[in-house]
Amino acid sequence: MAIDTLPQPSIPITRPFRPSLGFLTATPIIAAATICLLLIVAMAIFAPWLAPHDPLLLAPAQRLKPSSAQFLLGTDAYGRDLLSRIIFGARISLLIGVGATVFSISIGLVIGLFSGFFRWLDAVLMRIMDGVMAIPAILLAIAVVSLSGASVATVLVAITIPEIPRVARLVRSVVLSAREEPYVEGAISVGSSLFKIMWRHLLPNTIAPLIVQGTNFCASAILTEAILSFLGAGISPETPTWGNIMAEGRAYFQIKPSLIFWPGLLLSVAILSVNLIGDAARDALDPRMKQREGGKP
């Protein structure tokens, strides 16, 4: 009889579907993007030690100075050190990018899980999500900020809200297909609580698509913050962010173009890096791109 042989004990215990970080160095371009992003993150974290001057210190006598040994990138219209402002600006940009991603994913995940799992909630929640989705993101952000005043918190809220429906829809679609799997029915029949079924059997299915969605949104959140600041609807002008450095620099563009060039360059590099890493994550995690061990085609 064809004995149903077991893999020998020497076969290592391998965990399926464990997203590995190996993709971060898959190609030279992605490796470069990873390095750039790490440098920007380090810059944001160590800003107080890296910045040569106080980014808020006004020095009218030093306004619009060109690059010099004292001010590496020169000064802005109020005599503040441009380099220091850019270094501190990275903090707000990354904070908004990461914060908006974390909040939108946490809230969207819960909504998506519930509407995917409970049929009676589904119609109500998803219609609300449709409604939110119909509002243009920038417009909503401007409205929220102008209603409740400019601060990091309001900008965060303003950027997070429009993203929630997208996350919720994504999670819902994953949950809808996963809940039909026999292993979920198996869990129901061994008496697992709804919470346990969601946490243990449904939630893990959403991780890979959320990583992909998250990185892409992180980049667009950084950009949205910059746009809001540029439009004057963002964080108050004295706080340095890449967006409002550029907004202020706009008036002096012809005298001193570097006021726009440097923050613009960093913004582009940051967004490009996050986007490239997001694309790499999608390629590494999407089963259609790469068939993983233990998964069916």
Partner 1 sequence: MTESVLDLSNLVVSLGRAADSQRIIDGISLHLGERETLCLVGESGSGKSVTALTVMGLLPKGALVPTGGSVRLAGEQLLSASARRLRELRATRMAMIFQEPMTALNPVVPVGRQIDEVLRAHTRLDARARRKRILDMMEQVRLPQIERIFASYPHQLSGGQRQRIMIAMALVLEPKLLIADEPTTALDVTTQKQILTLIRDLQRDHDTAVLFITHDMGVVAEIADRVAVMREGRLVETGSLDTILRIPTMEYTRNLLSSVPSLVPRSPRPESTEPVVLEANELGKIYRERSFLGRTREVVAADDVTLSLRKGRTLGIVGESGSGKSTVARCIVRLIDPTSGGVRLAGREISELSRRLLQPHRKRIQIVFQDPYRSLNPRVNIGETIAEGPINYGMKRADAIEKARELLELVDLPVDSIKRYPHQFSGGQRQRIAIARALALDPDVLVADEAVSALDVSVQAQVLELLDEIQKRLGIALLFITHDLRVAAQICDDVAVMQHGRIVEQGPAAEVLTRPQQAYTRALLDAAPGRGWDFANFRPVAATTAAV
Q: Which residues bind partner 1 (CB under 8 A)?
A: 1-2, 4-7, 9, 11, 13-17, 181-183, 185-193, 196, 200-201, 204, 293-296
**Helix segments in 73-151, DSSP class H:** 82-117, 119-133, 137-148
151/192 with CB nearer partner 1: 192
**Residue 24 near residue 30 (C-beta atoms within 8 A):** yes
16/60 with CB nearer partner 1: 16
146/193 with CB nearer partner 1: 193
Least distance between partner 1 and beta carbon 117 (Å): 13
Task: Bin 17: left if φ > 0, else alpha if -120 < ψ < 50, else beta.
Answer: left
Burial of 180 (0-12, 13-18, 19+ CB in 10 A): exposed
**Residue 126 near residue 172 (C-beta atoms within 8 A):** yes
Least distance between partner 1 and beta carbon 169 (Å): 23
In degrees, to the nearest 5, what angle opens at C-alpha 111 toward C-alphas 108 and 113? Answer: 105
Least distance between partner 1 and beta carbon 20 (Å): 15
**Residue 261 near residue 171 (C-beta atoms within 8 A):** no
Rg from Cα positions in the chain: 24
Least distance between partner 1 and beta carbon 250 (Å): 51
136/182 with CB nearer partner 1: 182
196/250 with CB nearer partner 1: 196
Least distance between partner 1 and beta carbon 210 (Å): 15
